[in-house]
Amino acid sequence: MGLTILSLTGLALLAAYASILKRTLASWNALPEWELPKDFEPRTFITVLIPARNEAANITRLLDTLSRQRYPREKFEVIVIDDHSTDGTPEIVEQYPLSNLRLLRLAEHLSPNGPIHSHKKKALETGVRRARGTLILTTDADCEAPPGWLATYASFHESTGAAFMAAPVLFHREQTLLQRFQALDLIGMMAVTGAGIHSRSFYMANGANLSFTKEIFHQARGYTGNEQHASGDDVFLIQKVAALAPDKVAFLKSRQATVLSLPMPGLKSFVNQRLRWGTKNRSYQDGRITAVLGLVFILCWFTTGMFLAFPVFGWYGLGLALALFAGKGLADYFLLSDAASFFDRRGLMRRFWLKEGLHILYIALVGLLSLVVKEYEWKGRRVK
């Protein structure tokens, strides 16, 4: 009787997961790709905001890509908000030869007595207040933007009237198995993000490639109400805007607007990054996201637990574990192979089943840690 209940529970979890991924894949494929019109003449003034902390090794590459944008120089500005860097990041920015580049030092814009829970949100708020653009784009200092990045966003905004736009972020320059795993995992997250926004089922975003009008930011009251979270400048904001004006939120599915970032170099930095992402999950106002994340977490733990319980349940339990692993893997394979093909990263599907095993372990273990860990290290800070 007990084994029957276990089997039915596991298969019910798998069926729910497969159903969600089937709908996600259909929505991703229904989301049209945006192409920059060849005769596009931009009208929008854009401000690019770059929060930066100790990014001396990376920020020059980003500024190089921004200096090569195929967008009128007089119609955009770049603002780097330095967050107490100790490695020479602000000096690099000050010396960079880009006429429409400005540096703000966050330390000069903070209340000396006020507590700070999220320096990144404060940096972005500071940048928005001083932005001249009606359209704000945000990215991270370790990213690289394609030459048509600004023009693609502007054309989409002007043609559709979208006031909040998320767009893809991919990892590149992967060297290790862990980094290739991160790259494939992020591709899957981009497909889920695009599908969720397109179907209006749930709203997620990545602050490394995000855009919103200054007007909608103020209408949604920015990050007010979420200051206590170290991360979430992206997800909390898109959820607030979606609650306010869902028809103004869109996903910009375009290779011309895809930003490239660097994967975490090692296991410790990877875990810290994912803890930073995961600790805010319980605070989402959208119960649909919480339900989906909970389903994935439980399925991964159920599968892992059945493998570990082999001495108790024997071959029957092992067979159930393998069935769950294979079923989840097939559902993931269809979504990931489609998204990897769209982004011309089919090579990441090599050694798929090994990466699938890593994914189950990662979700189970890091998901558990995010529920119990209250403090972690990020960019030289202890974050709560």
What's the N-to-C CA distance of the chain in angstroms? 45
Asked whether the whole model's pTM tops 0.85, one would answer yes
Q: Given this model, what pLDDT does residue 276 score?
A: 81
Exposed/middle/buried for residue 382 (C-beta within 10 Å: 0-12, 13-18, 19+): exposed
Q: Given this model, what pLDDT does residue 111 score?
A: 67
Mean pLDDT across the chain: 92
- C-alpha 60/C-alpha 96 separation (Å) is 8
> With 70 as the cut, is the pLDDT of residue 101 above it?
yes
Structure tokens that stand for 221 in this block: 């009251």
Structure tokens that stand for 200 in this block: 């209006």
Provide mean pLDDT across the span 277-290: 72
Q: Given this model, what pLDDT does residue 46 score?
A: 98
- C-alpha 142/C-alpha 62 separation (Å) is 7
Q: Given this model, what pLDDT does residue 233 score?
A: 80
> With 80 as the cut, is the pLDDT of residue 1 above it?
no
> With 60 as the cut, is the pLDDT of residue 207 above it?
yes
Q: Contact at 8 Å (CB) between 274 and 186?
A: no
42-59 in b/e burial notation, b at 16+ Cβ within 10 A? bebbbbbbbbbbbbbebb
> With 70 as the cut, is the pLDDT of residue 228 above it?
no
> With 90 as the cut, is the pLDDT of residue 156 above it?
yes
Predicted confidence band of residue 382 (pLDDT cuts 50, 70, 90): low
Q: Contact at 8 Å (CB) between 235 and 284?
A: yes
Torsion of CA 269, 272, 273, 279, to 10 degrees: 180
Predicted confidence band of residue 322 (pLDDT cuts 50, 70, 90): very high
Q: Given this model, what pLDDT does residue 308 score?
A: 93
Sheet of 101-105: strand order equals 101-105, 76-82, 46-52, 135-138, 210-213, 164-166, 249-251
> With 80 as the cut, is the pLDDT of residue 172 above it?
yes
Angle 310-342/287-308 helices, nearest 10 degrees? 130
- C-alpha 302/C-alpha 306 separation (Å) is 6
Predicted confidence band of residue 343 (pLDDT cuts 50, 70, 90): very high
No. of helices (H) and no. of strands (E), the chain: 12, 11
Its sign, for the CA torsion 296, 237, 179, 32, is positive
Strand partners, 169: 259
Q: Which residue has the higher pLDDT, 267 or 115?
A: 267
Q: Contact at 8 Å (CB) between 137 and 211?
A: yes
Q: Contact at 8 Å (CB) between 101 and 68?
A: no
What angle is formed at CA 35 by the lines to CA 46 and CA 211, rounded to 5 degrees?
30
Provide mean pLDDT across the span 6-30: 96
The total number of residues shown for the chain amounts to 384
